[in-house]
Structure 1
């Protein structure tokens, strides 16, 4: 497979990532979609699965949106064409879909959002729009015609009387039809419109980035939970002012110093961001193991050659500090020291853990205890 169309990962990131679209023919040659339309409809009926139906014209109302879960009979009442079913987080529920992500590990784990499936009969579409994230659109079944190009933002005209952000006056720059195995990369803000030419399924591999608001509010909330946050601003050097209504420059200086002191602690920032970035999108799938395992049983399974893999909804990352390595799994952090530090990059390299080096580490009781914790909380399991 050549998912980058002959480019190296460095070349793609330098020339295309967040810069311009790229059409990649047969990124996945002979691709067979692991799920059928009926299976997607079945998932859309399940609690805990985020799903939506978009109808282009619902009794004269343009681009109407319905949110799941849906009763099975809803699909019997849909028109023959011009509608779309969206199932979010398909990788959380289908291991074969999650395996596709291994081809995109040239992008950091923390940037991954999820894989969304879009099923549509002929004419089905979600309308011309733009997204605020990077996405690879992999054609999994049938054919979809994509028109794309031109930068869009909140000032771009949109259709009224719809809950969706549909562009009302937009003309793309390029048009292509994707067949199974073809893929289109789109950076944030690029207008695009995909229309099903027959019964088709498209898989959207999306990559998220936090907003400035997410970072500021998230980190300050984290700081407010740390020891010492309950302390009050003091002023033992208070002096009489000419006017009691004045907020003196010294007060602002003291507050600025306090804020800078908190923001300059890079280790605190790294620990917060690691936990924030690995918090699972769906807690419905990261659930404790039905049968908890003991460290001894875990060691036996590892040395016996069983394959350990991530829960499909779990997120793994790590950060190197001065004298320790912070491992982040599903919003929790684990600080590793000394000979334990190599465990973090080993666990984070891919969804299937390399078992030979892991077996060499399994003799260390502390590491075995950590692996047991990850197993029992549902972050990893034996395949």
Structure 2
């Protein structure tokens, strides 16, 4: 896909300075003449698969209901007030992945996925807030957005969705195909379909510090080294056997305070954490893989590309791929960072690969993480 402008007359630097994480932005004809890249029928079929995350939201007779996929049945498209949400479409479709990658003026470490929302007339998911930045690209039909920077985030009780109880919008927009709305985190909004419509949501992950902290402590369990064990050779008789003594508390505190972590520990954790595939993602190993020599010969002619499902990042001498990390030399890092940034390597670049890189590429190919170009 040819590189798109996306931001209208605003440069990425201007957009990040003025809008990103700060305030909404409506971009008319962000992609002029845009049309759905996935048909309605293909989306419905995708929602029936067990390897695709999907949800059906209905508001029939003023009652909110939600059903998680895989979905055996979809309501008639002539019926009003329902919405189909299909998450991670970029993991399953090349065109969706290519569209998602158009947003690479933002870091891959923040990029989450492309979700498609299909709705019949009046369909929506109610007024709500998201905890992440999102671009809402209209692909088909018209969707009316009402938004507001309200402080009251009280939710309705007794409904299966996080719907705001007192929504107070301050602005309203009708988005046509090719128009796009950017919303920063925790900005109240509601989108309602005017007739049949499809909206693409490009979301950016923002893990909570609590989530990061819990995951980091789990990560550090493999690195903690505290030799010895508790001892109290000077123990004296007690008249309060149920009390934890000050001496025991002091001794254990002194040992646990020896647990230290470095900036490198955090870098390794962050790279592995951010590149770890979601639980719903699976790779299919090559059934009859080529030998290393044959693979490199073909790769040198065709080039290679990362699988849609692969997440590859780097920091300093460290390279991360699908939750794994390793340190590389400066020369190898130069080559692998091109693969991570561009998600492809041409044959000319592959011809310069060291044996270590060649073996890594071959291993990723065998696991289905990397593909030979056709």
Tell me whether the two structures share a fold, i.e. TM-score over 0.5: yes
Q: Which residue of 2 aligns with 1:197?
A: 194
SS in 2 for 1:48: coil
Q: Which residue of 1 aligns with 2:356?
A: 366
Cα separation, 2, equivalents of 1:293 and 1:170: 58
What residue ranges of structure 2 are gaps of 5+ in the alignment?
none
Question: Is 1:139–1:202's contact at 8 Å kept on the other side of the alignment?
Answer: yes
Cα separation, 2, equivalents of 1:203 and 1:158: 25
Question: Is 2:119–2:198's contact at 8 Å kept on the other side of the alignment?
Answer: yes
Q: Which residue of 1 aligns with 2:336?
A: 344
TM-aligned CA distance change 1:64 to 1:232, over 3 Å: farther
CA RMSD of aligned residues (A): 2.4
Cα separation, 2, equivalents of 1:372 and 1:224: 31
TM-aligned CA distance change 1:217 to 1:28, over 3 Å: same
SS in 2 for 1:115: strand
Counting only pairs closer than 5 Å after superposition, residues 171-190 of structure 1 correspond to structure 2 as: 171-190=168-187
Cα separation, 2, equivalents of 1:187 and 1:346: 30
SS in 1 for 2:74: helix
Is residue 2:25 matched to residue 1:22?
Answer: yes
TM-aligned CA distance change 1:147 to 1:223, over 3 Å: same
User: How many residues were matched structurally?
Assistant: 366
Q: Which residue of 1 aligns with 2:306?
A: 310
SS in 2 for 1:199: strand
Cα separation, 1, equivalents of 2:233 and 2:332: 49
SS in 1 for 2:139: strand
TM-score (norm 1): 0.88
Give a deviation string over 1:59-79, Cα, whole Å, max 9, x none: 55x2210111111xx225576
Question: Is 2:122–2:194's contact at 8 Å kept on the other side of the alignment?
Answer: yes
Question: Is 2:305–2:345's contact at 8 Å kept on the other side of the alignment?
Answer: no
Question: Is 2:100–2:113's contact at 8 Å kept on the other side of the alignment?
Answer: no
What residue ranges of structure 1 are gaps of 5+ in the alignment?
none
TM-aligned CA distance change 1:180 to 1:241, over 3 Å: farther
Cα separation, 2, equivalents of 1:183 and 1:255: 55
Q: Which runs of 4+ in 1 moved over 3 A?
A: 76-79, 231-246, 248-253, 282-285
Counting only pairs closer than 5 Å after superposition, residues 131-280 of structure 1 correspond to structure 2 as: 131-152=130-151, 156-226=153-223, 228=225, 231=227, 245-247=244-246, 250-251=250-251, 254-255=254-255, 257-259=257-259, 261=260, 263=261, 265-280=262-277
Question: Is 1:147–1:194's contact at 8 Å kept on the other side of the alignment?
Answer: yes
Shift in Å at residue 283 of structure 1? 5.0
Cα separation, 2, equivalents of 1:30 and 1:11: 24
